[in-house]
Amino acid sequence: MGTFADPPAGIQRTRVTIAEAREIILDSLSPLGSEGVGIELARGRVLAEELRSDRLIPPRDNSGMDGFAVRAQDLGRLPATLRVVEELPAGRATHRKLGPGEAARIMTGAAIPQGADAVVMVEATEEAPSSGDAPRGSVRVLASVRPGENIRRAGADVMPGTLIGGPGTRLGPAAVGMLAAIGRTQVRVAARPRVAILATGDEIVEPDQLTDDGRIASSNSYALCAAVSEIGAVPVYLGIAPDRPDEIEARFREALRCDAVVSSGGVSVGDRDYVKRVLSEMGGRLRLWRVQMKPGAPLAFCTLDNRPVFGLPGNPVSTLVSFEQFVRPALLRMMHHRRIYRPVEAAVLLDAYSKPLGRLHLVRVTLERRSGALDARLAGDQSSGVLLSMVRADGLAIVEAGTTQLPAGSEVRVQLLGRDDLQAEPGF
């Protein structure tokens, strides 16, 4: 049995930079189709249709204040006493036209009666003693108003034909509200990929099967499920394959029911690292293996049956950091998102960091914003197997391949984890 210290035949690219790997991966993807969903389930989904209003919002001129609908010209001399001829709570329409010297008591949101051209807010009025010809009383107005004042015009929000969003627009709470406002209960959005998640390794067991024989729990499976569901994709849990080619192949065959596949472990140069070989034998097109980064170097990426298959390295931090750099943007792109990258921001690294020349390091840091500037500190032990520092990390500081020493106080750029997708461009 040979090892895979040299790239197996057929691999397209090896020892690529993060940027090159990302490009190879994104170039090989096809976006998923679309589906209709009820608006109550639309938050976070990406529009797959052009969305235009077919109506005026608001539908009628209406009052922006509680007060009195008036004719502005009646308030030339102050205080002015007007007869209150009607009460208009929100939702009540009237056909009565306001005449000279008349006012209608009106609530916020009620349609403006004909004849009125402004609303005086209630705070600028006093009740006047009622008289026989004004059964609802009179009002004394203490301040003048300009025509149009305190009136919200029909269509001020949207007009028929106004573009609300198009393919690629992410639906947040305001967009969901707008869908309801224009009378839509269903909307067409990008489908959510089903993502198969499998682990490999003779030493790996389910968390409830841990004994004292030195085996370790498959933290990767659960971390990956969480990372997949965090972005609105659907994790499909496929368990753990022992280090045997037939077992690994059986899991990958099962995984092809899904739209994408993410495995962890078994892609390095050990005698029992079978994942790449199995994928090739299944007809997978291995497009890259090994990225010049730490943690996470031995990433394998292939397409099999037109699906992206990510063979992530097994060390728990390598798994998650590789997911961040490659799988997450890929899945977001499949879901039609335009902004697929975490934001990258400048920070001051308060601890010193040193590394050998050659590979780019993504260093786990905690972050604190202090009067505008971002302070970064090492989040703990940076070994690829130490998950606790990843638990504590707020970001990954980018230490370039050519850098060896960063003295305390150096400026670094940090990829912000736990933040939403704000960037259409990768940032590094």
322 binds ligand AMP (CB under 6 A): no
Q: How many residues bind ligand AMP (CB under 6 A)?
A: 17
Which one among 67, 165, 201, 311 touches Mg ion, defined by CB under 5 A?
A: 201
Segments in 362-416 forming alpha helices (H): 387-392
CB of 220 to ligand AMP, least distance (A): 3
Q: Nearest approach, Cβ of 190 to ligand AMP (angstroms)?
A: 30
Name the closest residue to ligand AMP (Cβ): 314
Q: What CA dihedral angle connects 289, 292, 295 and 296, to 10 degrees?
A: -10
Q: Smallest distance, Å, CB 218 to ligand AMP?
A: 4
Q: How far is the CB of 263 from ligand AMP (least distance, A)?
A: 9
Fill in the per-residue mask, 130 to 169: x = in contact with ligand AMP (CB under 6 A), - = not in contact: ----------------------------------------
Residue 218 touches ligand AMP, criterion: CB under 6 A: yes
DSSP string covering 312-337, please?
E-SSHHHHHHHIIIIIHHHHHHHTT-
Supply the DSSP symbol for 158: B
58/270 with CB nearer ligand AMP: 270
Q: Which stretch binds ligand AMP (CB under 6 A): 28-36, 138-146, 174-182, 262-270?
A: 262-270
Alpha-carbon gap, residue 172 to 177, rounded angstroms: 9
177: Cβ–Cβ under 8 A, 6 or more apart, which residues? Answer: none
Q: In the bound complex, what is the minimum distance in angstroms from residue 291's beta carbon to Mg ion?
A: 18
Q: CA–CA distance from 325 to each of 50, 245, 255, 321 (Å)? A: 31, 28, 22, 6
Binding mask 186-215 for ligand AMP (x = CB under 6 A): -------------x-x--x-----------
Q: How far apart are CA 389 and CA 50, in angstroms?
A: 44
With a CB cutoff of 8 Å and minimum separation 6, the contacts of 226 are: none
* Structure token digits, residue 89: 């709570």
Establish if 315 lies at the interface with ligand AMP (CB under 6 A).
Answer: yes
Region binding ligand AMP by CB under 6 A among candidate stretches 3-11, 38-46, 149-157, 264-272: 264-272
Q: Give the one residue of 113, 193, 265, 313 binding Mg ion; rule: CB under 5 A.
A: 265
Contact between 263 and ligand AMP per CB under 6 A: no
β-partners of residue 285 are 303
- CA 306, 268, 389, 349 dihedral sign is negative
Q: Work out what residue 325 binds among Mg ion, ligand AMP, none; the CB cut-off runs from 5 to 8 Å by kind.
A: none
Burial of 282-318, coded b for 16+ CB within 10 Å and e otherwise, reads: bebebbbbbbbbbbbbbbbbbbbeebbbbbbbbbbbb
CB atoms within 10 A of CB 232: 18
Half-sphere exposure of 348 (CA within 13 A, CB side): 11
Our CB check for ligand AMP shows the closer of 128 and 217 to be 217
- With CB under 6 A as the contact rule, which of the stretches 110-118, 216-224, 230-238, 402-410 interacts with ligand AMP? 216-224
**Which positions lie near ligand AMP, rule CB under 6 A?**
199, 201, 204, 216, 218-221, 264-266, 268, 270, 313-316
**Which positions lie near Mg ion, rule CB under 5 A?**
201, 265-266, 314
